[in-house]
Amino acid sequence: MNSAMNAVVLLLSIFVSSEAAVTWRDCVPPTTAHPYVTFTSVSVSPSPVVIPGNITIGVRGSVHHNFGKDVRMVVHMDKYLLGVWTKVPCNSNVGSCNYDNPCEFLSAFATSGTCPPQLEAHGLPCTCPFNPSDINLPPSVFEVKTINAAWSWLATGKFRVQAEMIHGHDIVGCFHVEMDIKRTGGHGFIFG
């Protein structure tokens, strides 16, 4: 699995979960008259998510408005450390990152010419532009085989993530989740 794919699966698995002890919500502010993307149900298992490992992700929602290079993304990620939410800095596209052009991030899929088969099987696009459509990804297995050395901070623990899609000054899509991650392998793990 390439690095972009790993990053996307990690982000997805951090963003989404409906398991007990894990909470998620759509956080588009009520002041946004016309959201571009909304989520109605999301699931991930196992809980805690084990990395590396197989992660099962299901997503239902809607794209209401076409978007592409006109949106940017802001991700806030915190880890619960010694009783305090502590900001996780951006490192190799994971953490509290600003993606000025998220389309560029997804362009790795365009370059390789393929979407992840789990998405393709359900007619879901993985590159920009995205057009109005229903998002219906039944629970599907994604395998995270290796972790980039730059993501070594992604150790066992409780994480809180908010991902905001921004157009102009409006938050047109927003996802918030708190979840636990368990990393196996310890020092014997070979980083990819």
Ligand X SMILES: *[C@@H]1O[C@H](CO)[C@@H](O)[C@H](O)[C@H]1NC(C)=O
Distance CA 189, CA 167 (A): 40
Run of H or E residues at 15: helix 3-15
What separation, in Å, do the N-terminal and C-terminal C-alpha atoms of the chain show? Answer: 10
Q: Which is nearer to ligand X, 134 or 143 (CB)?
A: 143
In the stretch 34-73, what mask flags binding to ligand X with x, by CB under 6 A? ------------------xxx-------------------
Quote the least distance from Cβ 36 to ligand X, whole Å.
Answer: 34
Instruction: Give residue 169's region: left, alpha or beta (phi > 0; psi -120 to 50).
Output: alpha
Nearest to 177 by CA among 9, 42, 37: 42
Q: For the CB of residue 142, give the shortest distance to ligand X in the complex, in Å.
A: 9
What is the rounded distance in angstroms from the CA atom of residue 54 to the CA atom of residue 51? Answer: 8
Beta carbon nearer to ligand X, 23 or 54? 54
Number of amino acids touching ligand X (CB under 6 A)? 5
CB of 145 to ligand X, least distance (A): 6
Strands (E), 27-132: 37-45, 49-51, 53-63, 72-81, 84-87, 98-99
Q: Which is nearer to ligand X, 176 or 182 (CB)?
A: 182
Select the residue interacting with ligand X from 111, 134, 145, 149 (CB under 6 A). 145
Residue nearest to ligand X according to CB distances in the complex:
54
No. of helices (H) and no. of strands (E), the chain: 3, 10
Minimum separation from the CB atom of position 136 to ligand X (A): 23
Residue 80 or residue 189: which is nearer to ligand X going by CB? Answer: 189
In the numeric block, which tokens belong to residue 106? 């997804």
Q: Which residues would be at the binding site for ligand X (CB under 6 A)?
A: 52-54, 143, 145
